Amino acid sequence: MKNLIFVKLGGSLITDKSKPYTARLDVIKRLCKEIHEAREEKNFALLVGHGGGGFPHISAEKYQTHKGVINERSWEGFAKVQDDAAKLNRIIVSALIEAGENAVSIQPSASCIAKNGRIIEWYTRPIEIMLSEGIIPVPYGDVCLDKKKGCCIISTEEIFRFLAKKLKPERIIMAGKVDGVLDQKGNVVKKITKRNFKIIKKSLFSSDGLADVTGGMLHKVEKSLETGVKIEIINGLKPNLLKMALIGKRNLGTIIN
Amino acid sequence: MKNLIFVKLGGSLITDKSKPYTARLDVIKRLCKEIHEAREEKNFALLVGHGGGGFPHISAEKYQTHKGVINERSWEGFAKVQDDAAKLNRIIVSALIEAGENAVSIQPSASCIAKNGRIIEWYTRPIEIMLSEGIIPVPYGDVCLDKKKGCCIISTEEIFRFLAKKLKPERIIMAGKVDGVLDQKGNVVKKITKRNFKIIKKSLFSSDGLADVTGGMLHKVEKSLETGVKIEIINGLKPNLLKMALIGKRNLGTIIN
């Protein structure tokens, strides 16, 4: 789709992972305002996905939902993790509406099926129509029914991997709480390609120094390379960076291409 | 599907329609407890749908969302009505989980498409798998993209009409805040069939004396007759009635067959 951008708001960015169920409302509000300002300045279609951070990750850890149906409490975990993920989604969608955007939730667990942790089918017709009408569809890291494991967790990166193939965005912006992909010295890696990834791979940190059930920064970069779309990883904590990235400014973080 | 029951929790039952965004938390909690108790006593698959009541009906009225895309603010209305409907859904799903059930939201606007207000396609695979795993899927009266009108409102009755054809429940229980379908004298009509409906039709009241954007009691009965499934309309405000209906007690309200 021409002029289509995917934006990911990272779970570590929009929640305080050290406290359960704590959304960073000030950050969310500012990011939504930046999105709205960018859309006022420039004409583009937008899909916003977000991670779960301190909302579903605690229950997901507890029930080990990413491993599938492993015991008699796994479906209980499935229900609780989806409830937690959906709670944060309400906060994000409401904030986007509050900022002046027509944003609508897309519940992945109601509209797609995975196999071994990878989405294999998705009823994307509603997303396609919404995008063509200027609405921002807002999917999120969620649980998913899995043909092999019973259930699984699908990260925003996995969602983008699948949707990018189908919807063909021009680029993807991933806003986290670090300046980009960092090497072991803490410096931003300016550009990652399939060619230099093997070397860089060894020295990647996770998005907040801690791996989570969706796999941290390594997972993010691997899924990103798989999309075949140009991806920019930027620091969403720095005011205006998301807006600048949306209107087309370059060199704001790490580019994966 | 064998042993499958659909339950509708009416919008007037679970919210106070006279006050915006006011859920009747005590009623919701009791109904969820009754559902859980019934499931402990008897083995059956269950899908719970619910209306929106005082949550989406105000914005739906304001933007006249049921009429479709009628002006430049219609998509804004679409986004707001879905947000409002989803907010109440979170309360219901969380209450079901709290009561001990593995309940999972099903966002209709992310998984189906309508034409002229009638659902014409729905990606029901997730619902089917959930039911087979003992999970309670929880769809709700929602907005929907519409091939003819741009957008529309789909009531829980319309959702049940479509899903009943596909999933073939043994029966449907509709819990509202009146004792059943009432005639003009306020007496409960014990049984409605296609044969006597023409006569009864003239004397039907809406569920709370006020018609809403989804059409009130007349709409409910018409959609019910269309499902071809036995439907019981009961008073959810009366403790234990929902539980009794679920475990198979008869003559609790109006039967539509």
pLDDT digit string (tens) for B67-78? Answer: 999 999 999 999
Contact (Cβ atoms closer than 8 angstroms) between residue B146 and residue B207: no
Q: Tell which of A70, A89, A109 to mutate to test the B interface (max B CBs under 10 Å).
A: A109
- pLDDT value of residue A209: 46
Residue in this structure with the two tokens 């106070």, named with its chain if needed: B16
Which residue from B minimizes the CA distance to A100? B76
Mean pLDDT to the nearest integer, B143-159: 97
- pLDDT value of residue B205: 54
Q: Tell which of A111, A113, A119, A159 to mutate to test the B interface (max B CBs under 10 Å).
A: A111
Give residues with Cβ within 8 angstroms of B194, minimum separation 6. Answer: B225
- Closest Cα in chain A, distance from residue B256 (Å): 30
- pLDDT value of residue B187: 87
Q: Tell which of A70, A80, A83, A136 to mutate to test the B interface (max B CBs under 10 Å).
A: A83
Q: Which two tokens stand for residue A22?
A: 């704590």
Please list every residue in chain B whose beta carbon sits closer than 8 Å to the beta carbon of residue A83: 90, 93-94, 97, 104-105
Say if residue B210's pLDDT is above 80. no
Please list every residue in chain B whose beta carbon sits closer than 8 Å to the beta carbon of residue A99: none
Contact yes or no for A107 and B102 at CB 8 A: no
d(Cα A157, Cα B68) in Å, to the nearest integer? Answer: 34
User: Sorting pLDDT into bands at 50, 70 and 90, what band is B214?
Assistant: low
- Closest Cα in chain B, distance from residue A158 (Å): 18
Beta-bridge partner residues of B114: B119, B146
Q: Tell which of A107, A115, A133, A142 to mutate to test the B interface (max B CBs under 10 Å).
A: A107
User: Sorting pLDDT into bands at 50, 70 and 90, what band is B223?
Assistant: confident
pLDDT tens readout for residues B40-68: 999 999 999 999 999 998 999 999 999 99
Please count the residue pairs, one from chain A and one from chain B, whose beta carbons lie less than 8 angstroms apart: 109
Say if residue B3's pLDDT is above 90. yes
Distance of CA B31 to the CA centre of its chain: 14
Please list every residue in chain A whose beta carbon sits closer than 8 Å to the beta carbon of residue B150: 133
User: Sorting pLDDT into bands at 50, 70 and 90, what band is B211?
Assistant: very low
Q: Which of B76, B79, B126 sits opposite A109 (nearest CB)?
A: B126
Extract the runs of DSSP E, i.e. beta strands, from chain A: 4-9, 45-50, 103-105, 112-115, 118-122, 136-138, 142-146, 150-154, 171-176, 191-192, 230-235, 254-256
Residues of B with CB under 8 A from a CB of A: 75-76, 78-80, 82-83, 86-87, 90, 93-94, 97, 101-107, 109-113, 121, 123, 125-127, 129-130, 133-135, 145, 150
CATH 2.60.40.420 fits A4-54+90-100+129-139+154-256, yes or no: no
The answer to whether ipTM exceeds 0.90 is yes
d(Cα B110, Cα A112) in Å, to the nearest integer? Answer: 10
- pLDDT value of residue A210: 43
Query: What percentage of chain B has pLDDT greater than the value 70?
Result: 95
pLDDT tens readout for residues A60-115: 999 999 999 999 999 999 999 999 999 999 999 999 999 999 999 999 999 999 99
Contact yes or no for A113 and B106 at CB 8 A: no
Distance of CA A121 to the CA centre of its chain: 19
What residue type is assigned to position B132 of the chain?
A: S
- pLDDT value of residue A215: 59
Beta-bridge partner residues of A9: A50, A175
pLDDT tens readout for residues B73-110: 999 999 999 999 999 999 999 999 999 999 999 999 99
Buried/exposed code over A232-242 (b: 16+ C-beta within 10 A; e: otherwise): bbbbbbeeebb
Lowest mean pLDDT among A201-210, A230-239, B137-146, B238-247: A201-210
Contact (Cβ atoms closer than 8 angstroms) between residue B194 and residue B46: no
Lowest mean pLDDT among A196-210, B131-145, B167-181, B193-207: A196-210
User: Sorting pLDDT into bands at 50, 70 and 90, what band is B202?
Assistant: confident
Contact (Cβ atoms closer than 8 angstroms) between residue A65 and residue A71: no
Nearest to A105 by CA among B78, B30, B230, B151: B78
Q: Which CATH number fits domain B4-256: 3.90.1150.10, 1.20.120.140, 3.40.1160.10, 3.30.390.30?
A: 3.40.1160.10
Residues of chain A with pLDDT under 70: 203-215
Distance of CA B139 to the CA centre of its chain: 8
Q: At what angle do helices B156-167 and B125-132 cross, to 10 degrees?
A: 70
Contact (Cβ atoms closer than 8 angstroms) between residue A223 and residue A214: no
Give DSSP secondary structure letters for B130-142. HHHTT-EEE-BSE
Say if residue B197's pLDDT is above 90. no
Query: What percentage of chain B has pLDDT greater than the value 90?
Result: 79
| Mean pLDDT across chain B | 93
pLDDT tens readout for residues B156-181: 999 999 999 999 999 999 999 999 98
Rg of chain B over Cα atoms, rounded to whole angstroms, equals 17
Q: Which of B110, B112, B150 sits opposite A107 (nearest CB)?
A: B110
B12-26, B202-216, B218-232: range with highest mean pLDDT: B12-26
